[in-house]
A and B are shown apart, each in its own frame.
Chain A
Amino acid sequence: MYTSETFPLKLPFSPFLLLTLISLTSTLSYGQEQIKTHWSFITPKPDMEEQLGKAYKDPPTGIFSSSQYIVLRVKSGDQVGRYAVATFDEDKASEESVSGYNKTLLPLIEEISRVVTVSRRDISTWRPGIGTCETSTGSYGYAEVVFFQLNSGGEQDFVFVQEKIREAAEKTNLPVLYEWQQVVSDVKSNFILILPRNQWADFRRLEKLFESMLIEVYGREDASSLLQRLNRSIRTRNSALWNFWAGHCLMRVGAGRPSDEMPQFPWPPPKWTSRYVVIEGLVATGKYEKLVNSFDRIVNAFHRAGISEWSVYGVGGNGFAMVSRMENIEDDGSPKSGSERWGVEPIHGERGFSLAQYLKALFSASPGRYRVIVLLVTDRSVTSGAEATSLPQWTRMLKEGAGSLPGKMREAVLPASARCEALVYEFYRPSEDDIPRSVESSHLQTVDHLVAAGLWKREELLP
């Protein structure tokens, strides 16, 4: 949204506050107005980075058990090599907030002080009225963080324009998440903008530019006036990319971490029989849609295929996997008829007696071919795990997953680079007495499976 054309970033960079933003994004309940983040910026002493990582990964028992903190790395700009440690306080009273800081961050910093140099500490507060406030729903590995230092008396204009920007973003349904923080421990008016991203590839030019969005809503003249007012209020601005230091943070919920509400799909996905990347538009459109839209398309496809039972798993915070119930299929991939479709054991004696049927049953085996379809909607790289699965595992998966997307995930925006990948897990048993084994390489292609299952037509999958 905030492109370099809109906000030229030429002023001196004082980036520490930015870290706070990312942290806040992750942890906080956005229903509260005064959520504070306490943060410290540190630089590892020479050759001490490994010890720093160890200190965060294995914190001393008892010190941080009731606290949450995240660690972020500066990945671009002149502050590369620094880290930010942030803790969160949802208490409204500042006294309690300070107390929480003393209880949490101070011992943490003290613990690691032998391997780092602490360069700055600060406190910032989340500003829900001028951001989209949804960044907590995603698991974002990176964030573009823009730091604004305002001119004296410029805060009123700045906030006014930001409110207008937010209104325009809502009206145009701009599919960009962003969040504002205001530094409260500084006499100057400093604001921080956070634009979360899932991966480096997401840092690309957005389809709908900020300025054109304003023009669309307010007209060219008013948009220009708003931008002038905004620029007048700003003294300096600068930006950097920050990386969430996953694995070294202690959080109950948060950015870079999956939502607690959703069971997570095993990652990497278990070894599949075949895979197909569903063409754009059929499930994922690449247009910053909400997750629920992709979810609904898959549900419709399942209904078309007569699949009424499935499980939903989260893939991070802004992706999901839908696991269909295991079905009994013919060699051509079409599902068996009636109740035979949903059982592993063959059903005897339903069709009456005939000599031909009897002789066939007497001399030939009753092989079984089974299929589980997993539809993954994610922007992650999907690579196969090493371990093959078994039918009981998928039966368990069906029971342990959720039936639908939780509220926050439904509203989360699917990254433009996200797509839907269909994974087919095929199993075969030569006879009734054999255990169904995972098929390494099927004689059917994934598209054949999807078409035979009735999810989509061949021409839809292969235009």
Chain B
Amino acid sequence: MAASASLPTPPGVKYGGPTQIFINNKFVSSVSGKTFKTVNPSTGEVIAEVAEGDKADIDRAVAAADEAFSKWRRVPGENRGKLLTRLAGLVEENLAVLAEAESLDNGMQITLAKGNVKGLASWLRHYAGYADKLHGVSSPLSASNQLMYTIYEPLGVVGAIVPWNFPLSLAVWKLAPALACGNTIVIKPSEKTPLSLLRLAELVVKAGFPPGVVNVVPGYGPTAGDALARHMRVRKITFTGSVTSGRLILKAAAETNLKKVTLELGGKSPIIVCDDADLDEAAFFAYNGLFINQGQFCAAGSRVFVQDSVYDQFVEKAVELAERRLANVGSPQNAVSRHSLYPSRYPSLPLSPP
């Protein structure tokens, strides 16, 4: 059996996953009725037409999240944790469809996509465990008739803008802790990779999350992303992506309600290989740490410092590994291929993750 035959959508069959905006646990068209095409970068073919959210849709999603927050914040931590745990189980059960969406849309090797999806269940369970352990401290004051204590309160609606390189992982890293703490969330995936998050949204309903707790609005950075970053009811915005977009988001927050901002931007991460290192091991990890997902990895080890006396040997090993990778070039949906698309297909737009 060909490796790709195990995918839920066989070649030639129309993509069957959700393609609309997810608000209040329902998939809906965009207010404008507009759609955009999402393309399989390994073939250049259109996978699906996706509803294009802009400011009007962000407004609807934030209103839904805001309304849901008033009740969600009162849901006991134990129950929030239970829902996240249930979502983790559903992610595992639906590994194949989630990984397929990720691989088709992003060009990620299917084996890497499956590994990542499997990992998501761990992240969800990890944060599920925090949900009932968010406690503050008490402090003895000088006056004997005074009581002082602190509590952790959720912020409210959290906005999340997620890039295309690891769409599901980065969304879950933002979603899981936000929900565990009692916040609600509006996520804008990259316009290049909306499909896997819409699959996850299906599971959010199945898990039993109340409507409005999780919302997903596919769209472009300058429209949907900007509206989310500027929304007065969004209390925090979290973004992973390019430095250029990060600056715009910080500025948008500063110019509106000074919402809290979390940015995880570019990298040029060094790897230092000393002359006493196990060279095979070092070369392998340096190779994998750079070429994983074709170098489209924020923490990619893109500067490898190698000590003089082992330098030539290391370069030889690096070339061997690259050669082997090239020998396995192929469709990302084929489990044996190791090397696939490269990102020149993806020019960065302002406020659009790289």
Please determine whether chains A and B interact with each other in the same assembly: no
